[in-house]
Chains A and B, each alone.
Chain A
Amino acid sequence: MRGLATLPGLPPLLAIGGLLAAWQAASLAVGLDSLPGVPATLAAFPDLIRDPDTIRNIADSLRRMVVGFAAALALALPLGILMGRSRTFARLMNPLLMVTYPVPKAALMPIIMLWLGVGDLSKTLVIVFAVSLPVIYHAYAGARAVEEKMLWSAAAMGMSGPARLLRVVVPAALPEILVGCRTGIVIALITMVTSEMIARQSGIGNLIFNSLDFAQYETVYAMIVVVGVLGIVLDIAFERLRTALVGWASPVGEVAVASA
């Protein structure tokens, strides 16, 4: 919970406090084992953290998320930027993206499991698919919106076409690319958990369902809290990175978070 202390300002703390209060009130009102209160859930943490199995599950999840996210960037950024600079390529890619975007990527899990098993590869691959789409779209939009005259100015200085792509299009599109990355992080987190719930072998999602099977409701809620905190910490870290990288840019509009 130390991540919360670094939040700037009071309003976010108030919001989280309100959420916890509502949770506690609901727990007291319902009075069922399947809705433990805040103290009971927090009390589950010491044991969880001491359990090497829990740590292994969380580490497995994070490893797949990081690898999947990195692979998605490596795939999506070149595709998106090329789409933004080549009309033909964009017209080729757009229908493919439009077909795949609305498909929940977790729905691909059964098919991928059939071919690649229930291990890391399948789950990482689903994260790669899910994260790629918003990143491609934002990289595409960013690269397409680069002012033609900025490129002309660079060309007049003697800069070649490939150099302009790398040294003008990429930095100019970076603010928009980072908007895509931020959406991508949230989607990676969602896909990470859902893929583990389908292919139950290791990970946070797996732990949640296993605990449910054993009626360890405190653990279920504790793991959901872990995912929430992960989301907040990643978002704060990303926001810092964004400010450092594109502090020169005028602020871009708020992110619409897509569901996976």
Chain B
Amino acid sequence: MSGVSKTFRRREGGEHLALSAIDLAVAEGEFVSILGPSGCGKSTLLYMLGGFVAPSSGSIRVGDRPVTGPGPDRGPVFQEFALFPWKTVLGNVAYGLREQGVARVAAEARARALIAQVGLKDYETFYPKELSGGMKQRVAIARTLAYDPAILLMDEPFGALDAHTRTRLQNDLLSLWERDRKTVLFVTHSVDEAVFLSDRVVVMSRSPGRIKADVTIDLPRPRRRADLLLDARYQRHVIDLERLIDDAPDVGVRP
């Protein structure tokens, strides 16, 4: 995967410049967080990468190919989970594989393995409505990993979860990622989360959304939360990033 650069405009009512002159290149296997206040267009940026929303101008490429629409090389994970409620946990995770033409037996075997990996071994026959938020998001992650996308697009995936569940899912995501090292774009508004997980943190500002800073997180891997919280470099990054966001010239625009 070479890079992504783009400029675009979006209409909401009149002309509204949601994102302006965004240039961003992400290397293969890199874990990049996009950090910013709400309304800075960080999710929109991700949706354009996914091909769900078309940019008004500029171009997006994945590898050598321009992005023209959604595709199984880019797997989304949404804050809202967006599971198929009429499918069981197994049905949801196997869905993408079946869609790719994998035979039922093989698809279900792979789905079972993934469900076990995300810690839901005994929940294969459950329907989404019977699961907690954290469990739903585990299913959603397994469902996306199932069709083996080269890039994961995670849109505030832990934003709707309570603090405890959130921490556990961060730890589990990190160990999953440290095993197969997919490229990850991770949208969040949590500084701790961004620093804990990422190789790089891209800080955005609002109105119009611009990239304000691009910070490399040079913390060793594999990372363990207990070690990291005591690490002075981790603390330094958190403090610096928080200051960067505070400096954003958007005070007083709240309605």
Contacts and interface: CB of A to CB of B under 8 A. Distances in A.
B213 interface: no
A158 B78 contact: no
B90 to A, nearest CB: 13
* Chain B contact residues, majority secondary structure: loop
B72 A158 contact: yes
Nearest to B101: A158
* Chain A contact residues, majority secondary structure: helix
Contacts, number: 67
Interface stretch (A80-88, A100-108, A148-156, A229-237): A148-156
A174 B87 CA distance: 13
Interface string A226-260: 00000000000000000000101110000000000
B3 interface: no
B132 interface: no
B127 interface: yes
B68 to A, nearest CB: 12
A158 B129 contact: no
Given A152-B52, A153-B76, A248-B127, A159 B82 contact: no
B172 interface: no
A32 interface: no
A152 B50 contact: yes
Interface in A162-202: 168, 171-172, 174
A111 B254 CA distance: 60
Contact of A248 (B80, B85, B100, B147): B85
B50 A249 contact: no
Nearest to A150: B82
Contacts of B96: 156-158
B80 A157 contact: no
Contacts of B95: 157
Contacts of A156: 50, 70-72, 74-76, 96, 144, 149
Contacts of A149: 76, 78, 80, 82
A172 B100 contact: no
A150 B87 CA distance: 12
Nearest to A170: B86
A171 B84 contact: yes
B180 interface: no
A171 B76 contact: no
Nearest to B155: A149
A168 B71 CA distance: 17
A149 B144 CA distance: 13
Contacts of A249: 85-86, 129
B122 interface: no
Given A156-B71, A172-B85, A248-B129, 12 more contacts: A147-B80, A153-B76, A153-B78, A153-B144, A156-B96, A156-B144, A157-B72, A157-B96, A158-B100, A159-B99, A248-B127, A249-B85
22 contacts: A147-B82, A150-B82, A150-B84, A152-B78, A153-B76, A153-B143, A153-B144, A155-B51, A155-B69, A156-B50, A156-B74, A156-B96, A157-B95, A157-B96, A158-B72, A171-B86, A172-B85, A248-B85, A248-B86, A248-B128, A249-B86, A250-B129
The 3 closest A-B pairs by CB, nearest first: A155-B70, A149-B82, A157-B96
